[in-house]
Structure 1
Amino acid sequence: MTSRTLHATARAAQLRRRPLAAALLVAVAMPAAAEVAADAQADKTPTFDPVEVVGEAVEKASSPKFTAPLLDTPQTISVVPADVFNAQGAQNLTDVLRNTPGISFSAGENGFATNNNNFSLRGFDTSGSIFIDGVRDSGNYARDVFNIEQVEVAKGPAADNGRGGLGGYVNLVTKAPQLGYFARGTASFGADATDADGRVRTTIDLNNQIGETSALRLNLLAKTGGVAGREHVESDAFGIAPSLAFGLGTDTRLTLAAQYVSQSGRPDWGVPGAMVEGTVNYNADAARADTDNFYGLKSDYDDNTTTSISARIEHDFSPAVSISNLTRWTETSRDAGYTVPTGYTPATQLVGTQTQFFSRENTGFANLTNLSARFGTGALSHTLSAGLEFTREESESDRFPTITQPATSVLDPDYLRAVQGKIAPVQTSRVKIDTVAAYVYDTVEFNEHWQLTGGLRAERYEVEIASRNADDSPQGPDGYEVGETTLGGKLGLVFKPTENGSLYASVNIATLPPGNYLSNPDISREGVNTFPGLVGQNNEAAKPQRAVSHEIGVKWDFFDDRLSTSAALFNTQRRGVAITGKEPGVASSPEVLRGYGKQIVRGVELSAVGRITDAWTVFAGAVFLDSERELGEYLDAARCTAAPTDYVAGATVADCAAIVAGSGGVDGDELAFTPKRSANLWTTYAFGNGFTIGGGVQHVGDSWAGRPDDADRLIPNGRWGKLPGYTVGNLMASYQFNEKFALRLNIDNVTDETYATSANWAMSRAFLGPARSYLLSADFRFW
């Protein structure tokens, strides 16, 4: 295992224009200086013992709402620790989530401004269910992991943190001060055989004990360069995350933390779908194009800043009773203009392009209080967690028209063909959501073999939308208001035949009310495109959607609890999915909410995480899914009548009855972009002489193109073909020269596969996975 630090990257030429980034890189890139400093420090008597970081299996989720260890939690939970994703060279949340099977990424109109920032979990959109230290983190942006200790993925409907979570949720756990001291960093350089610029990244992690019970921790990030496999694309970042803790090891503890991250660069929005073999728009001439071709403009930009401040206070009344309060404020601002390929004309070999814009500021304030207690009632033992939560989240956005740009050659695109500056917004919008929630969870132990874990969460959710034209006149959903009181929770029975194993059966329930637009990627579009689903799923009159999941599974630890394994069989129903349409066969009828359908996802998930031996580690998982839409013949015909060509090219309203009757409709179809199979494997072996080798495989099966689970429009399977599956292999080798210095080489996509990770609904554009790339990293430990 490597130390819990992130890899760092920067092109020398660009660093010369960024003195602070250069200083950070130089600070960790001079091992001789580090050795001198270390020798000087060794002459002094240290006040505190150094902290050693050793990779261990995660036994419990970070949230107090999990009242049992992972082994005894009746739910599938995947935890990706920092030493796993650091060894892989992962830099953002998207990279980390590739370790979790059952996740698919969105692009194009399925994620208008996302560039793979949006994703689905077990078929259901999960982009609005991302949390940092248990607090919802709204907004559409790339989340760097330089200050992250582990990433937790809860599978299945989860009301733990409130609205949404129909497929689960993701929680990022930030680094915190510790008693003891350490100073470590990573500098890395990445390159590949394409015309992409080199990539340099540096991170530093400092922890210093400043008293018997206090500590200060500082994490720093500097990054500059290109993006693997993408010509002309740039990605720069700077981050700083200080945290200060008092009372460590005592009954009362206070932790203050802040984080600031600035990211900028020239974004990439993919290639024409015609370049991707196996897609409905594939063209042999287009496929001759270099896969690193950039179809955007030199003037494209994507600037993002995130700022957060938090305070956590904890007090132990006794070894069995404690209370905590977390207050967190966040602000995320993103301003972007990017040019996307919109189609390909074989006769001319030209690619059509458009420039789109995104401008949005998200702010959030949360106050979370939790009481945890262990106690007995007669022969029963309880581990209880109860709490209150208050949050306010707001989003303010400018909205813009789409600008058509000159077409460009598919074989030799010219990124200087036009210059697109910023334009004035034509509309604005504001979304405000207030939430008040109370919850209680409890694990009841009847005896050494039987446990019951469950709980309820009641939540009052209120959303308001203001939508205005440039002249301040009302537009569209201006005045939209929805208020809902929802109830969700979970209940699971656990049988432990032995101390290191458990079998369980559980039911989980989560609710999604209308109007949840805080992470919506379409927010900067003009007109009705800004707030999708206002006729259907987000209609003020629509009833809340509810997901109910049944799961049975087994969890077992082997090799003296070094290796944790699990297998789960699950069935999730998303109920109350609003279906819009016209009266079947009546083209002149209005398109309104016509009824409700279901979405069903069932499958099996397997995992193995930990150490097989002291030298051999493994992190593996696999998911096999079967998804289905249920809406009935009437709603299918109503949907076809509203948009006949969504069902069959050139179809008219008069054709819809025959299309639906002939099984050409949507009823019974699989969910779009929901692969039946996905799996990942990462394993390392340490030889004991400082040399470690590792490698991994990621497999994602093919999936139907179409509209995602949260869209009102429905596209039958086969209308736009499939997104082909792929299998990618990665390798790693590292050598620990001494306790202060190690080198690591990562080779990703070893066989140099050409593959698409996502595409828009009509397959007119796709995002390609990176070509074979190399990352050389140096890990330094100063003391």
Structure 2
Amino acid sequence: MKSTDQPRPQASSKELLVLATFASVAAQASAQSSAPAAKPQGPSKPDSSEMPDLVVEAERDRVLYNAQLLSPEKMTAPLLDTPQTFTVIPESVYKEQGARNLTDVLKNTPGITFNAGENGFGTDMSSFSMRGISTAGSIFYDGVRDSGSYSRDIFNVERVEVAKGPAADFGRGTAGGYVNIVTKTPLLDTFLSGTTSYAFDETDANGRFRNSIDYNQHIAGSPIEGTALRVNALFQEGGIAGRNYAEMNSWGIAPSLAFGLGTTSRAIFAFQHVEQNDIPDWGVPSGNSATGGGFDYVTRLGRDLYYGLSTDYDDSVSDAFLARFEHDLTPDITISNQTRIARTDRETEFTMPHSFNNATGTTVRQEHTKYDRDNFSLSNITGLTWTFNTGGIEHSLATGLEFMREESSSNRFGSTFRSTPSYAPIGNPAGFPPLTFGGTGDVTIDTAALYLYDTAKLNDQWQITGGFRAEYYEVELIDRNAAGVLGPNTYTSDDFTLGGKLGIVYKPAENGSIYGAAGISFLPPGSFLSNSDASRTGDNGFPGAGAGINSPGADPQYNLNYELGTKWDFCDGRISTTLAFFRTERHDVAITGRQHVNGVPTVPAQTMTGYHEQILQGVELGVAGKITDEWSIFGGMLWMDSERKVDAYWETARRLANAGDYTAQYSTFDGDELAFTPNFSANVWSTYDFPFGLTVGGGLQYVGSSYVGRPDDAERIIPNGRYGELPDYVTVNALVAYDVTENVTVRLNVDNVFDDVYAVSSNWSGVRSNLGPPRTYTISADWTF
């Protein structure tokens, strides 16, 4: 076992392997430096007959920032003419930044906030909210919902598409939007590329090694025309920036094989396997308003102190298989069928700081629970795309059928307080009670859906884009206690929803559009498959299952989105800009409370279910592309107001249910902002290429202050200010890269240049916080042969 006061261990064999990769790249660079090498051609841009939803623009030029198309076939118009806010984050951006996982990538779009929830979110803040609304259940791989709370690495990711606002594109979803992760697939090209990096900081945290490889081979001699093989691989080992003792270790491999690329009949088979073996970190103690400490943690305690046990762990294994077939019936009609099977098993046991005493500067540990959950999904999508004319109107239509089964199985455990002020990692001393098994929780969701979307081009100036998704949804929840007896949260429920969107687009010029649009999506009760609390006991494991948001009698939430915006491409399409005004309304959001008459609780006590509304409105701007041939930029900015609308009866009912959440000063929450929802956030990343192989660049991220409290989907509402505010923060990052040869580029990234100490998130009462990384240095070698 490692200990914080032990000397650093010698490099492991895996670390030596990474260092050897560095050495081999350097040797190759040296060998080629004496003579100019022909610059390899990047992967060819796919023919229009290739898989449009899986094969995307493949140029690996690091300045290719602005996408022109969205990958899902349901998107029937180019991005310029799509009447909804989308942020498409290409690999060229997050590769320059040294990103490792989805959390890193999503820092490139405003309105994303990361959560330090009550359970299941150690190490990487893999849970996040979009425009103040939890998006844990709205993450998709290649258009298919990916359930589970775990860290998603991006070694096999071509780009990340972020849709803002509710829409029924992929079925049930929240008011904030969704994230679609587009994976890498074979191309008609041959190349071998990769990135080897080492990151470190000025704290006692362990260094971080990472090596990723991308190999693509066009098999020209195959008996099947258009055959290609692609293999992506990952190895990562080391610590967490700014956090002593914690670790993030993983490896993965993602082979894929395609047939018929560039022909009328195409098939692709892809597999991804990732294993993660981490020592989880739950951040630092921070005082809330009750202790008077606020978020002044660093003046009292070191920012890298670790509060877990040496026995803590966070292990996960994820596997996904995809098979897709496409056939062009005519040049204008394509039919496809895609099957995806995925499983994620995650087991973790972690300890966290709980209460910080501002007077003494001490804290206690709390063994929160053991998170033990398996997620499984099986989906099949049959789609048809058709371009045709009717009466002089050009149509681009997409329709299809989707079937999906999702399963989740959890072992559930209770929490245990462990009062010790020791800061060094320790084992499990005598007298510390073991974790208590509390039962199991199983969820099964079956979905059948029909969708149809169309873009009708009336003339050169006007077009209409819209469609619908009709979905039947059935959920079964089985709740058993430790003795195997069915609990009160066991139920079966089903719903039918009809969602969709409609937008009118006016094009004053070929390179611009002005649009107005509306969309609606639904979130039925029982969407537990991405719930962070699934391994807790009692109602904590399935929040709201008894009488609230996820009870069988609750009304489905419905989300409305209204958007007015404009999009313009400049410089011959090299740079894209967006501006959108939006209003999102979230209706039938459940709230529970105690029955009363004029503020006097009835006897016997009775819990009731009511509803309230949440309103989010604001303006979002975006820019992506090349200002000049040398100068690239990618950024966004969001101003937003959020508001709860709760009537007086339910305010009183809520206070009677949890009196400790309220004081005379903080007694009302009607009109409050949503917790952890900043009014303003912005990000920008920009690089400049000099003609002699030098690239300099950098970025800035700003996240405004927000109120600490319960998240948007919790029935237990905390008034604004009751537990203080999460302070705003700004970080500045820098980049210097040099092309050693036309095949090898060496990069230095310096993140958080000014070494600011800031909290990215906290739990609902602010007693513990997750800190952002300190000043961090990452040395990388990007190589292509």
The correspondence of residues 320-339 of structure 1 with structure 2, limited to 5 A, is 320-339=332-351
Q: Aligned partners of 1:328 and 1:12: how far apart in 2?
A: 43
Change (3 A) 1:114 1:362: farther
Q: Aligned partners of 1:330 and 1:439: how far apart in 2?
A: 23
Q: Structure 2 length normalisation: TM-score?
A: 0.92
The answer to whether the aligner puts 1:240 opposite 2:253 as a matched pair is yes
Give unpaired runs (5+ residues) of structure 1. 1-10, 652-658
| Residue aligning to 2:208 | 199
Q: Aligned partners of 1:337 and 1:48: how far apart in 2?
A: 44
Contact 2:731 2:752 in 1 (8 A): yes
Structure 2 counterpart of 1:126, from 120, 135, 138: 135
Q: Aligned partners of 1:610 and 1:61: how far apart in 2?
A: 16
The one-letter code of the counterpart of 1:485 is F
Contact 1:105 1:758 in 2 (8 A): yes
Give unpaired runs (5+ residues) of structure 2. 1-6, 45-57
| Residue aligning to 2:97 | 88
The correspondence of residues 135-214 of structure 1 with structure 2, limited to 5 A, is 135-211=144-220, 212-214=225-227
Shift of 1:36: 9.5
Provide, for residues 311-370 of structure 1, a one-character-per-residue CA deviation record: whole Å limited to 9, x for no partner: 011111122110111101001000100101111123443211111210001011010111
Q: Aligned partners of 1:516 and 1:779: how far apart in 2?
A: 41
Contact 1:595 1:635 in 2 (8 A): yes
Q: Aligned partners of 1:767 and 1:509: how far apart in 2?
A: 34
Q: Aligned partners of 1:492 and 1:114: how far apart in 2?
A: 41
Contact 1:554 1:567 in 2 (8 A): yes
Shift of 1:638: 1.1
Structure 1 vs Structure 2 CA RMSD: 2.5
The correspondence of residues 715-754 of structure 1 with structure 2, limited to 5 A, is 715-754=718-757
Q: Structure 1 length normalisation: TM-score?
A: 0.92
The correspondence of residues 215-230 of structure 1 with structure 2, limited to 5 A, is 215-230=228-243
| Residue aligning to 2:699 | 696
The answer to whether the aligner puts 1:425 opposite 2:446 as a matched pair is no
| Residue aligning to 1:3 | none
| Residue aligning to 1:626 | 641
Q: Aligned partners of 2:181 and 2:580: how far apart in 1?
A: 24
Change (3 A) 1:772 1:151: same
Shift of 1:470: 2.4
The correspondence of residues 270-419 of structure 1 with structure 2, limited to 5 A, is 270-274=283-287, 281-282=293-294, 287-355=299-367, 356-409=369-422, 413-416=423-426, 418=428
| Residue aligning to 2:12 | 16
The one-letter code of the counterpart of 1:408 is P
Structure 2 counterpart of 1:664, from 653, 660, 667: 667
Query: Aligned to 2:317, what secondary structure does the other structure show?
Result: strand
Query: Aligned to 2:651, what secondary structure does the other structure show?
Result: helix
Q: Aligned partners of 1:100 and 1:543: how far apart in 2?
A: 32
Q: Aligned partners of 1:286 and 1:622: how far apart in 2?
A: 30
Q: Aligned partners of 2:106 and 2:544: how far apart in 1?
A: 28
Structure 1 counterpart of 2:619, from 598, 604, 616: 604
Change (3 A) 1:308 1:111: closer
Provide, for residues 629-651 of structure 1, a one-character-per-residue CA deviation record: whole Å limited to 9, x for no partner: 01111111111111122121xx7
Q: Give the fraction of aligned pairs with identical amino acids, expressed as a percent.
A: 49
The one-letter code of the counterpart of 1:415 is P
Shift of 1:458: 0.4
| Residue aligning to 1:643 | 658
| Residue aligning to 1:6 | none
Change (3 A) 1:309 1:424: farther
Contact 2:122 2:282 in 1 (8 A): no
Change (3 A) 1:13 1:682: same
| Residue aligning to 1:542 | 554
The answer to whether the aligner puts 1:62 opposite 2:100 as a matched pair is no
Shift of 1:424: 6.2
| Residue aligning to 2:50 | none
Contact 1:71 1:555 in 2 (8 A): yes
Provide, for residues 522-557 of structure 1, a one-character-per-residue CA deviation record: whole Å limited to 9, x for no partner: 001111110001211111111100000110001011
Contact 2:286 2:296 in 1 (8 A): no
Shift of 1:290: 1.0
Change (3 A) 1:377 1:25: farther
The answer to whether the aligner puts 1:527 opposite 2:538 as a matched pair is yes
Q: Aligned partners of 1:24 and 1:257: how far apart in 2?
A: 26
| Residue aligning to 2:24 | 30
Number of positions where the alignment pairs a residue of Structure 1 with one of Structure 2 = 750
Shift of 1:249: 0.4
| Residue aligning to 1:778 | 781
Query: Aligned to 1:173, what secondary structure does the other structure show?
Result: strand
Contact 1:122 1:674 in 2 (8 A): yes
Q: Aligned partners of 2:465 and 2:42: how far apart in 1?
A: 41
| Residue aligning to 2:51 | none
Shift of 1:214: 0.7
Contact 1:352 1:408 in 2 (8 A): yes
| Residue aligning to 1:616 | 631
| Residue aligning to 2:459 | 447
Contact 1:188 1:202 in 2 (8 A): yes
Q: Aligned partners of 2:25 and 2:587: how far apart in 1?
A: 59
The one-letter code of the counterpart of 1:438 is L
| Residue aligning to 2:54 | none
The one-letter code of the counterpart of 2:324 is R
Q: Aligned partners of 2:123 and 2:133: how far apart in 1?
A: 16
The one-letter code of the counterpart of 1:634 is Y
| Residue aligning to 1:554 | 566
